[in-house]
Structure 1
């Protein structure tokens, strides 16, 4: 099953951000084809210097979940405008990250079997 997980929170709401990343990890662990869409403050989760310091209340470590997703090759699609505004660039993002536009997200969401939003 194709799944797009959209995360709009990062350091502004670590619990919501962590829940989104954990949902993506759970879907990937279940063998689904996952794309993680990061927009708004969620774009910072693709920054390798930021995500290790994001910790949701009573949640597993964000660091472990992000690294598991990267190890599985899950693409982190970073909204280009959102990422650029927050200093998320090729110089600091995780290895599976790339800039994508709203048209890419809409196309992926329409082609997906499920879209989960956080």
Structure 2
């Protein structure tokens, strides 16, 4: 008997249906709450990602901090970022890193990458 693999995003025989909702809005809300006042998202993008065993999404986030104490706020946000706990419905954060930090006179810009995996 030959089994055909199900296309990405569709369950194969006997596998549970996978969620397709993008967890990015939840992640952005929690990131904004941790960043505090005067935080702006200059760029956000999300695209599907999969491996042989997992399915999820890869996220690119550009976050700008403005106002008082931006350097200290950026330090507080990024310290331990890869180990922070996030509460995402149907997903978990497998990886989140700071790709670049730009300190300027008017604030700090953080360029972040995150990988979320469907939790089923």
Q: Name the TM tier (shorter chain).
A: under 0.3
Greater helix share, 1 or 2?
Answer: 1
Q: TM-score, normalised by structure 1?
A: 0.26
Q: TM-score, normalised by structure 2?
A: 0.26
Asked which structure has the greater RCO (Cα within 8 Å, sep 6+), the reply is: 1
Greater strand share, 1 or 2?
Answer: 2
